[in-house]
């Protein structure tokens, strides 16, 4: 499994960081977790074919996690013939908006033979020959989820966004189990709130995204010495092999 950080900013893009989006490569297929970044443009410059995307998983409906989806599906709909994609959007309302946007652009209906839209609930929502995706409820908004991706024995937890100041203690319990990586936001709380969860964390590495304010990047570097696993804040374009 290879994970590339397409967007690592918080609620607004920065000069060198797009909003939240992560690409998973497994087998010959690609999967996205969130798509706040301009994914279509990123794929164009990387040479990756859009019709290699097998599934799109979104953690919640906020635009910094979903704004790249309408244009992405538009290109996959009319420009590519091999598109075969499951799209997980957390509200019916946003699914309706995405479909209506394609019509409003003058490109007609999204082809149901190319796209299968789903409103996820807790539990395993997707499984193919490469990966399995499980949704785990969080309390950032209603609804919102963390997403556990499994490839064989490898497991990576994408936390999505959590509650403000972690007042609902909504870091999933699976974060305390053995994980190959925990991709954790750092925009709605600080280390004081996160520390009890990190002390129990079973991940081999913790990767911080959605970092706010900017001074917290230095704090992440300083705090990395406190815990028995490596911690860092990846830049856009960084990749890890699991």
Q: Which helix (H) or strand (E) holds 6?
A: strand 2-7
Q: Do strands 132-138 and 144-151 pair parallel, antiparallel, or not at all (unpaired)?
A: antiparallel
Q: How many residues does the chain have?
A: 242
- Residue 90 to residue 191: CA distance in whole angstroms: 28
- Residue 38 to residue 59: CA distance in whole angstroms: 17
* pLDDT given at position 223: 96
* pLDDT given at position 126: 98
DSSP readout, 138-151? ESSSSSEEEEEEEE
The long-range contacts involving 38-47, CB below 8 angstroms and separated by at least 24 positions, are 38/68, 38/71, 39/6, 39/68, 39/69, 39/72, 40/68, 40/71, 40/72, 40/75, 42/6, 42/18
- Spell out the alpha helix ranges (H) of the chain: 39-46, 63-66, 69-78, 92-104, 191-200, 216-223
Q: Do strands 2-7 and 239-241 pair parallel, antiparallel, or not at all (unpaired)?
A: antiparallel
CA-based end-to-end distance of the chain:
5
* pLDDT given at position 30: 97
* pLDDT given at position 81: 87
Q: Are 172 and 157 in contact (CB under 8 A)?
A: yes
Quote the percentage of the chain above a pLDDT of 90: 97
- Residue 85 to residue 56: CA distance in whole angstroms: 7
Return all residues near 171 (Cβ < 8 A) that are at least 6 apart.
159, 162, 194, 197
* pLDDT given at position 46: 85
- Residue 91 to residue 120: CA distance in whole angstroms: 8
Three-state secondary-structure class, residue 10:
coil
For residue 198, name the pLDDT band (cuts at 50, 70, 90). very high
> If we measure between CA atoms, which residue out of 64, 73, 76 comes closest to residue 100?
73
For residue 47, name the pLDDT band (cuts at 50, 70, 90). confident
Q: What pLDDT digit, counting tens, does each position of 15-31 carry?
A: 999 999 999 999 999 99
For residue 43, name the pLDDT band (cuts at 50, 70, 90). very high
Classify each residue of 40-66 as buried b or exposed e, where b means 16 or more C-beta atoms within 10 Å of its C-beta. bebbeeeebebbbbbbbbbbbbbebbb
- Residue 112 to residue 128: CA distance in whole angstroms: 19
Q: What pLDDT digit, counting tens, does each position of 116-168 carry?
A: 999 999 999 999 999 999 999 999 999 999 999 999 999 999 999 999 999 99
Q: What pLDDT digit, counting tens, does each position of 72-129 carry?
A: 999 999 988 899 999 999 999 999 999 999 999 999 999 999 999 999 999 999 999 9
* pLDDT given at position 176: 98
Quote the percentage of the chain above a pLDDT of 70: 100
* pLDDT given at position 79: 84
* pLDDT given at position 48: 85
Is pLDDT at 183 greater than 90 in this prediction?
A: yes
Q: Are 38 and 31 in contact (CB under 8 A)?
A: no
Round the average pLDDT of the chain to a whole number and report it.
97
């Amino acid at each position: 499994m290879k994970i590339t950080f397409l967007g690592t900013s918080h609620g607004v893009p920065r000069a060198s960081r797009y909003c939240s989006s992560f690409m998973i490569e497994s087998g010959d297929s690609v999967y996205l977790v969130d798509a706040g970044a301009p994914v279509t443009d990123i794929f164009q410059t990387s040479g990756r074919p859009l019709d290699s995307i097998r599934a799109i998983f979104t953690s919640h409906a906020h635009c910094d996690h979903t704004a790249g989806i309408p244009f992405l599906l538009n290109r996959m709909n009319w420009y590519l013939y091999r598109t075969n994609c499951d799209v997980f959007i957390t509200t019916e309302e946003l699914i309706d908006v995405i479909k209506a946007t394609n019509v409003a652009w003058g490109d007609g209906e999204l082809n149901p033979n190319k796209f299968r839209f789903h409103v996820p609930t807790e539990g395993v929502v997707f499984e193919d020959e490469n990966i399995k995706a499980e949704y785990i409820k969080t309390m950032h908004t209603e609804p919102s989820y963390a997403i556990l991706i499994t490839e064989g024995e490898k497991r990576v937890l994408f936390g999505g966004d959590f509650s403000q100041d972690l007042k609902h203690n909504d870091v999933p319990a699976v974060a305390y189990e053995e994980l190959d990586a925990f991709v954790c936001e750092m925009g709605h709380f600080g280390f004081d709130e996160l520390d009890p969860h990190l002390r129990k964390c079973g991940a081999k590495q913790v990767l911080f995204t959605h970092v706010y304010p900017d001074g917290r990047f230095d704090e992440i570097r300083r705090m990395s010495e406190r815990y028995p696993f490596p911690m860092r804040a990846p830049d856009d374009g960084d990749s890890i092999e699991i």
